[in-house]
Amino acid sequence: MYHPPNQGCLPDSFLDLATANVSSIFIGDLNAKHTSWGCSVNNSIGCDLLNVADDRALIFLNDGSSTHHSFSYNTAEALDIALASADAFPFCRWSVLGHYLPSKIELKKTRKGILTREMFWNFGKAD
């Protein structure tokens, strides 16, 4: 998803996507700033996003690493945000690919195998 800077609050379409009880991962350049995920300041979009995440039980995958560097202002911020629903969160690993390069999310979900043991008589070991 992309939300242009200085364009007010988050669009309703984002709020509609973040429905409860659905396994979800949200990734985007939302230009939302909040100290909770590694920015130096908070903006209104960041506060809105934090409230939406709280209301919808979404968990931030960001680890505080910067994803954007402004050479004009000499600042580093985490503007690329990744969130996951509570059921998807344990299987996600978020990282920045390099120095201020795009972020990467790895999903590691293993299937539980069912081990069945077939019982049989081994007459060769009979005494």
pLDDT value at position 39? 86
Top-confidence residue, 107 or 85: 85
CB–CB of 82/25 below 8 Å?
A: yes
Share of the chain above pLDDT 90, in %: 3
Q: What is the mean pLDDT of residues 85-90?
A: 87
Instruction: Find the length of the chain.
Output: 127
Q: End-to-end CA distance of the chain: give it in Å, rounded.
A: 71
Is 60 exceeded by the pLDDT of residue 71?
A: yes
Token pair for residue 52?
């939406």
CA–CA separation, 63 and 54 (whole Å): 17
Share of the chain above pLDDT 70, in %: 73
- Report yes or no on whether pTM surpasses 0.85: no
Token pair for residue 12?
């309703």
Residue 62: pLDDT band (50, 70, 90) is confident
pLDDT value at position 97? 77
> What does the pLDDT look like over 4-45, one tens digit per residue?
887 878 777 776 666 656 788 888 888 888 999 888 889 888
By CB atoms closer than 10 A (0-12, 13-18, 19+), residue 14 is middle
Q: What is the mean pLDDT of residues 104-117?
A: 64
> What does the pLDDT look like over 39-61, one tens digit per residue?
888 988 899 889 888 888 888 98
